[in-house]
Amino acid sequence: MFTIIKEDKNSSARTGVIETAHGIVQTPAYVIVGTHATVRCLPPDALLATKTQIVIANTYHLWRTLGEKKLDSFEGLHARMEWNGAIMTDSGGFQVFSLGFSREHGVGKIASIFPDEEEKKERKIQENLVRITNDGAYFNEGGVEYFLDAKTSIAIQEKLGADIILAFDECTSPLHDHAYTAEALKRTHRWAKICLDQKTKKYQKLYGIVQGGAFEDLRKESSVFIGALPFHGFAIGGSLGKSREEMARVLEWTIPYLPKEKPRHLLGIGKIEDIFSGVERGIDTFDCVIPTREARHGAIWTHNGRVDMKKNKNALPLPLEIGCMCNACETGITRKELVALFKSKDQKAGELVTIHNVFFFNTLMEELRKAINEGKFHEFKEKMLEKIRKE
């Protein structure tokens, strides 16, 4: 399934090829998010032009939206998305966190600080909608509970028909202590074995997920355990600490214990700095909503960093990015015109920036692959990060 093409001499960065039933994915690669079997603001015929190789859809949301009857007759993600490239699906494990302790704790996967009581008041604390058991998770929707476990997650993903599917896991909060994280880890490991036993579609590649929060002993334990199981690849998920530095340490605790010959995916992470940090430590693929979600909110990404067009009221009549060859920039749209489109709430604004952002991140990965193959990873990394810091 995975072939390593080139390894960097001074880091763990590498290029490779992941083979799927719907073509190859050259790595390092960015997995574009299409939560509900569509990449928002990006028509199917425009996806290929953005250099996209692979997209990821959301198992939990599709399960709840389609329902059991529609799932049984579902045409498959490729047909629904009108996309013949590779597709990945998550397992629903992230929703165990996002609808559960993320709401209760008022934090994301990375907490900048451990909050005190006063800070808790300032954060948005909401009702926890998930009840976790050793068998699976109960999701509360309007007073009605829906149960999702490892067996069901695999069954749903097989019906969705993605090329790469993920094992069901419990994504923990950065505010969970060692004791709770260790307890959740046992569940994740138990569910991983069930996922392997339940998988029936040979063309689908199943990734195991490493958990353990920001605790070194638990990350190593999980890497050794999951890495020894016959998964086709591995994803690193869960809480990644309190900072970018802690996330880097989590990767350093994890990756050395995973089989070198299999691909590694970093779940839900995708800022430019994090891409370089991850690739340098041996990550092959990333998924994140940054290119698409931020586009809809007016942020464009360039080789000089991020620009918020909604706040850039005095934008000049300049291209979104000089030299960019994306379909949006090829229209000749200027930053000044884009600001006007956002101000008038024209949906064309979100479409244009989505095209540009997705193209930008995919181009960045293309440049990154080229740099690694030519033995210039460090130089490319330093040059790119210096530009971003100046901006």
90-257 and 1-89+269-391 share a CATH fold: yes
- The full set of domain ranges for the chain reads 1-89+269-391, 90-257
Asked if residue 116 has pLDDT above 50, the reply is no
pLDDT at 123: 65
Q: Which residues pair with 146 in a beta bridge?
A: 139
Cβ neighbors of 65 (< 8 A, separation 6 or more) are 36
For residues 63 and 214, give the distance between their C-alpha atoms in angstroms, rounded to a whole number.
30
Q: Which residues are catalytic?
A: 90, 287
Asked if residue 372 has pLDDT above 80, the reply is yes
Q: Phi/psi of residue 133, each to 5°? A: -125, 175
- In which residue are the tokens 């990756």 written? 255
Size of the chain in residues:
391
CATH superfamily for domain 90-257: Queuine tRNA-ribosyltransferase-like (3.20.20.105)
Other residues' Cβ atoms within 10 Å of the Cβ of residue 278: 26
For residues 157 and 57, give the distance between their C-alpha atoms in angstroms, rounded to a whole number.
10
pLDDT at 387: 86
DSSP structural state of residue 201: -
Span 1-89+269-391 CATH architecture: Alpha-Beta Barrel (3.20)
Other residues' Cβ atoms within 10 Å of the Cβ of residue 381: 20
| pTM listed for this prediction | 0.94
CA distances from 83 to 49, 119, 245 (A): 12, 45, 37
3-state SS class at 6:
strand
For residues 331 and 271, give the distance between their C-alpha atoms in angstroms, rounded to a whole number.
27
Confidence of residue 112 (pLDDT cuts 50, 70, 90): low
pLDDT digit string, tens, across residues 208-249? 999 999 999 999 999 999 999 999 999 999 989 888 899 999
Supply the DSSP string of 290-335, one letter for each residue. Answer: HHHHHHHTTEEEETTEEEETTT-TT--S-BSSTT--SHHHHTT-BH
For residues 272 and 101, give the distance between their C-alpha atoms in angstroms, rounded to a whole number.
27
CA dihedral 176, 179, 184, 188 (to 10 degrees): 120
